[in-house]
């Protein structure tokens, strides 16, 4: 079976892990500091705080902005639920924005109709390395005095018109989870250019406690990550150009070689510097296609449900574009350690899809 995701850690990661083990200090020690410094320098941003997940990064960003229950936070209707849980956990009003009709990213025109004087934060999600229209979003945010927290959990080292995604808003959040360019199992980062927010984030990661002399400064939690896990990110970050190149090569191969009237590959502007995490098939015959690929030993993964299916968030409105992408999109075998032969086999199989008999034509 060709898995829909494949990542492998090697000798370099194993050696770093043993090095961290030998340090005998497992929390907020040398590996955490090294990852923060490396990540900040690669992203050309002054401050990065390493935490235990991308979801924690989002929650911490909103805590740093002091989001309250009377505030509105706007998130896309199409994303992983983590983006909406963060404001939901703070009991803020979660408002949902549809995506554009041609790409699964926030529609600025819809966003414009949603903002009010109560909008405290907007969370654009750069899904699979695609740049949301940050210029338009910034204009709308400034009109109502809202902060921008970029969810770049699926856009690590992806570049947009203004620079690296995740560094263009007030705060940017990243994931080091399994389905990521750099994976340690569970991990995440918050980045910012603002020193004041950085200092606050470091405390929020540790229950909002001020040390020496001790005082309880902010609402926070234990968002810390172990140095053992952090160490795994170091060789991956040192080798990041190769990883980016591989992700782009795999995606370009899908884009140039999938040729079937019933399926397309959702585009990513790799020439602009966008870095895809995975390849997304788009087909109105998705279910048939998924079953056919499975019969041929190829695993895929469906897009997540849109956020308005989470009744506990009291969603309001309709989201036809999010529904359309959810219904028709799925992830094809991807990942940094996926073999080129596997990708070629997937492409050949897709190109022979015959919707009437569900077998090779």
Q: How far is the CB of 148 from ligand PLP (least distance, A)?
A: 15
Residue closer to ligand PLP by CB (options 59, 293) is 59
Is residue 274 close enough to count as binding ligand PLP by CB under 6 A?
A: no
Is residue 177 close enough to count as binding ligand PLP by CB under 6 A?
A: yes
Binding mask 183-212 for ligand PLP (x = CB under 6 A): -----x------------------------
10 Å CB burial of residue 217 (0-12, 13-18, 19+) is middle
Q: Are strands 47-51 and 72-76 parallel, antiparallel or unpaired?
A: unpaired
Is residue 95 close enough to count as binding ligand PLP by CB under 6 A?
A: no
How far, in Å, CA of 42 to CA of 151, rounded? 18
Residue closer to ligand PLP by CB (options 183, 192) is 183
Report how many residues bind ligand PLP under the rule CB under 6 A.
15
Q: Are strands 119-122 and 72-76 parallel, antiparallel or unpaired?
A: parallel
Is residue 83 close enough to count as binding ligand PLP by CB under 6 A?
A: yes
How far, in Å, CA of 310 to CA of 361, rounded? 41
Out of 7, 31, 34, 53, name the contact with ligand PLP by CB under 6 A: 53
Is residue 55 close enough to count as binding ligand PLP by CB under 6 A?
A: yes
Is residue 226 close enough to count as binding ligand PLP by CB under 6 A?
A: no
- Helix 240-257 / helix 227-238 crossing angle, nearest 10 deg: 70
Is residue 131 close enough to count as binding ligand PLP by CB under 6 A?
A: no
Name the E strands within 87-183: 93-97, 119-122, 147-151, 159-160, 163-164, 171-175
What is the number of other CB atoms lying within 10 angstroms of the CB of residue 78? 29
Q: Contact residues for ligand PLP (CB under 6 A)?
A: 53-55, 79-80, 82-83, 125, 151, 153-154, 175, 177, 179, 188
């Amino acid at each position: 079976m060709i898995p829909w995701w494949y990542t492998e850690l090697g000798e370099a990661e194993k050696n770093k892990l043993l090095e961290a083990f030998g340090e005998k200090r497992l929390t907020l020690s040398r590996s955490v500091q090294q990852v923060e410094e490396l990540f900040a320098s690669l992203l050309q941003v002054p401050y990065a705080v390493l935490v235990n997940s991308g979801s924690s990064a989002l929650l911490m960003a909103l805590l740093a902005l002091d989001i309250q229950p009377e505030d509105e936070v706007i998130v896309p209707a199409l994303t992983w639920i983590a983006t909406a849980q963060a404001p939901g956990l703070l009991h803020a009003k979660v408002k949902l924005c549809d995506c554009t009709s041609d790409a699964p990213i926030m529609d600025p025109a819809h966003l414009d109709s949603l903002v009010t004087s109560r909008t405290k934060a907007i969370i654009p999600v750069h899904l699979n390395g695609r740049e949301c229209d940050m210029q338009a979003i910034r204009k709308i945010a400034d009109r109502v005095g809202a902060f921008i927290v970029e969810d770049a959990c699926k856009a690590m080292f992806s570049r947009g018109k203004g620079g690296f995604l995740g560094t263009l808003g007030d705060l940017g959040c990243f994931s080091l989870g399994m389905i990521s360019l750099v994976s340690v199992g569970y991990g995440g980062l918050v980045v910012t250019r603002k020193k004041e927010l950085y200092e606050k984030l470091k405390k929020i990661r540790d229950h909002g406690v001020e040390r020496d002399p001790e005082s309880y400064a902010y609402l926070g939690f234990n968002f810390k990550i172990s140095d053992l896990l952090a160490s795994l990110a170091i060789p991956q970050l040192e080798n990041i150009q190769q990883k980016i190149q591989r992700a782009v090569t795999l995606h370009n191969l899908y884009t140039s070689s999938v040729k079937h009237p019933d399926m397309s590959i959702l585009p990513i502007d790799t020439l602009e510097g966008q870095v895809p995490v995975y390849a997304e098939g788009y087909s109105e015959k998705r279910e048939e296609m998924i079953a056919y690929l499975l019969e041929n030993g190829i695993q895929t993964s469906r897009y997540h449900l849109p956020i308005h299916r989470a009744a506990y968030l009291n969603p309001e409105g309709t989201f036809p574009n999010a529904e359309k992408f959810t219904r028709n999109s799925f992830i094809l075998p991807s990942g940094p350690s996926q073999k080129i032969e596997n990708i070629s086999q997937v492409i050949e199989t897709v190109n022979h899809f015959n919707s009437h008999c569900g077998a090779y034509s």
